Structure 1
């Protein structure tokens, strides 16, 4: 599980790069910002096909598995599993809110904390119920995506004031916002730190409202992760043949579907309707199979004695530290209170930062764990959740 988690946190960096470096709308539409040269569009297409939503789903899958793991360890130690879990989630929520408002608008930790509380209610559920409830959560996201897509198609004529307002609202998140809004956002993030804090406070939705509105899919993946943990999928309990069959049954078809979606969206000139159809409706529909296929492929690649596997697993043991450290470094690089590179790089150029960041992550994680028992953020999380000072040095 550490190896898969390490690969997921490395993949999340790739997914988040446009969010660190470009206006928010550019995450889904290259027309919003970041350049439209063939290399920039190819970078968008590769990210859409291979990464967008998949790493987040994989991370949520592992988070759900960790819920059961913590419950099992607490019960084995004679502790109150509910109390242990709730303290962990409360602490993670505080860490996530600090990350959200003080560093970066794309935080997922506060949502994981809130939805992790809901996931705990299913800890004793049979595996079949976990699978059914998990798929139901994904279905809610698909229905929501269908609603957004249908709204885009219905309001595309922009024949009435209401249609214009609805189209512009959708364009603000998935299309091309008005130039004045883009320039205001760019000026904000090229400004000082307090200006960015104020923007995030005013523009970012309340975490509780976001969890209620958008959390069904994430909760669904957590429940599927609990089922996958119980069934041995995430713990290496399957045979290599089983993992190979799962990867072959899921990845070729889902990759082909995503390639088709990317090409259709590109050829449409990134029409808002096609962006929503691809990113918010069809992709969420087939994403669970792709996420499970990724998990199977990674477990096939895992080699306990391999140096690379050990480094990736170390990054997974320090996933929280690596996630937060990535945000800090990228924000310092792009925001105005650091090097001020926000919205200055073409999209394709951003990905030159990936091998540098991955190399640092794979080197510092095992180096740290040879000396210390936990990653720095994991140590803080554990200390605050337990109200005690854990051992610092590795034994």
Structure 2
């Protein structure tokens, strides 16, 4: 295996693509109320361009880039542990310390900037993943699919309770408070005039203090309750990433034709049923339960092959263009993934929130790709420029310095 102290260019490229792809999906959560992230009808009437943006996101991006990032996080854990142990240190302890600091980074990100943070989840799930680091690839894959099943059952069970609630609300002898409660829940996902959605507009078009207090309240009221919907799939993809590293897949060592065949098969398996779900949702005019159920549960089994397919497709391109200038730029984005992730949040919040330009709710989905493309261009320019002078990104440097309890080298010339 490649020496754990060295960079693995293939993984840097994958990580760069993942952090850029995550922004494509997150842009709606920066620019619109939280409800619109799960059900676009919550933001109001949808044009053909808006539906096209949603369709592309649903088919190709939603959950797939986060899954890819999770696979890379799991693989990177193995590399960190190996590197620490080769240096005579305790690899598991080093990972636990890094996870503690990552959780604090994520908490600050959540409270100070944006409610969609994933760093806290990675920190917690990464601790659980430590239990599996010594396993062989086949065992890791089996456990990964066990957790995938657990995730699907949790999400499908939740959606099932909503359908049961709707059935009880529609019953002729149903209690009025049941009907009213269900109608209010559906409206909170699909009616832009609903008080919860209007409150989101008021909050994020307001000043920084109000947004901060809103995030504090969200963390206390909502964050823990959403964990069951993200813990198991994240752990599954981390374990899958470990298996893919041990099998040489993530290091770019496979033949180009092997990557191409894997990508082709995975996209064929995943895209056809995903397209059927998209047609069902669109033809149903984004009915709240159909949309939420598809996003949370029904699309998940197909998200797994699509995430692997994306990894294989990117690595196929990498094997064919590993020395290309554009490949080097994407790798630089990946080496600064934490800085780019947090920097994207800072820039997007400054664009959309009231303490910045105040564009929250004013940019329709069909226009959002322009903001994403501009952010990608910035990442592809600043990342290699920064790396010419500095060995670590600013966030990476701070994280490593805190985890090792001493200031780390940052300038290349030092």
Alignment TM class, shorter chain as reference: over 0.9
- Distance in 1, matches of 2:284 and 2:162, equals 14
Aligned residue in 2 for 1:306? 324
| 1:31 aligned counterpart, secondary structure | helix
Q: Deviations over 1:268-298 (max 9, x none)?
A: 0111231133212221111111111110000
C-alpha displacement at 1:392, in angstroms? Answer: 1.4
The reply on whether 1:183 has 2:198 as its aligned counterpart is yes
Q: C-alpha root-mean-square deviation of aligned residues, in Å?
A: 1.7
Note closer, same or farther for the CA distance 1:150–1:207 as it changes in structure 2 (3 Å cut).
closer
Match of 2:307 among 280, 291, 305: 291
The reply on whether 1:229 has 2:245 as its aligned counterpart is yes
- Distance in 2, matches of 1:351 and 1:108, equals 22
Aligned residue in 2 for 1:353? 371
The answer to which of 55-64 and 123-132 deviates more is 123-132
Q: Deviations over 1:43-92 (max 9, x none)?
A: 11111111111111110011010011101111111111111111111110
- Distance in 2, matches of 1:334 and 1:130, equals 41
The reply on whether 1:24 has 2:52 as its aligned counterpart is no
TM-score (norm 2): 0.91
Q: Deviations over 1:350-384 (max 9, x none)?
A: 22111111111001000000100100100000001
The reply on whether 1:219 has 2:235 as its aligned counterpart is yes
C-alpha displacement at 1:182, in angstroms? Answer: 1.1
- Distance in 2, matches of 1:168 and 1:316, equals 43
The answer to which of 148-157 and 230-239 deviates more is 148-157
Aligned residue in 1 for 2:52? 42
TM-score (norm 1): 0.96
Match of 1:254 among 263, 266, 270: 270
Aligned residue in 1 for 2:411? 393
Moved over 6 A (4+): none
C-alpha displacement at 1:151, in angstroms? Answer: 2.4
Aligned residue in 1 for 2:261? 245
- Preserved CA contact (<8 Å) 1:61 1:225: yes
Aligned residue in 2 for 1:75? 85
In structure 2, the gaps of 5 or more residues are 1-10
The reply on whether 1:328 has 2:346 as its aligned counterpart is yes
Aligned residue in 1 for 2:7? none
Note closer, same or farther for the CA distance 1:208–1:279 as it changes in structure 2 (3 Å cut).
closer
Note closer, same or farther for the CA distance 1:66–1:120 as it changes in structure 2 (3 Å cut).
same
C-alpha displacement at 1:149, in angstroms? Answer: 2.6
The answer to which of 188-197 and 138-147 deviates more is 138-147
Note closer, same or farther for the CA distance 1:237–1:175 as it changes in structure 2 (3 Å cut).
farther
Note closer, same or farther for the CA distance 1:37–1:209 as it changes in structure 2 (3 Å cut).
closer
Match of 2:62 among 30, 41, 52: 52
- Distance in 2, matches of 1:245 and 1:352, equals 32
| 2:145 aligned counterpart, secondary structure | helix
The answer to which of 378-387 and 123-132 deviates more is 123-132
Note closer, same or farther for the CA distance 1:170–1:144 as it changes in structure 2 (3 Å cut).
farther
The answer to which of 100-109 and 40-49 deviates more is 40-49
Alignment of 1:271-286 (within 5 A): 271-286=287-302
Note closer, same or farther for the CA distance 1:135–1:167 as it changes in structure 2 (3 Å cut).
farther
Note closer, same or farther for the CA distance 1:171–1:129 as it changes in structure 2 (3 Å cut).
farther
Match of 1:102 among 112, 120, 138: 112
- Preserved CA contact (<8 Å) 1:265 1:275: yes
C-alpha displacement at 1:140, in angstroms? Answer: 1.4
The reply on whether 1:318 has 2:336 as its aligned counterpart is yes
- Preserved CA contact (<8 Å) 1:25 1:176: no
| 1:228 aligned counterpart, secondary structure | helix
Note closer, same or farther for the CA distance 1:170–1:100 as it changes in structure 2 (3 Å cut).
farther
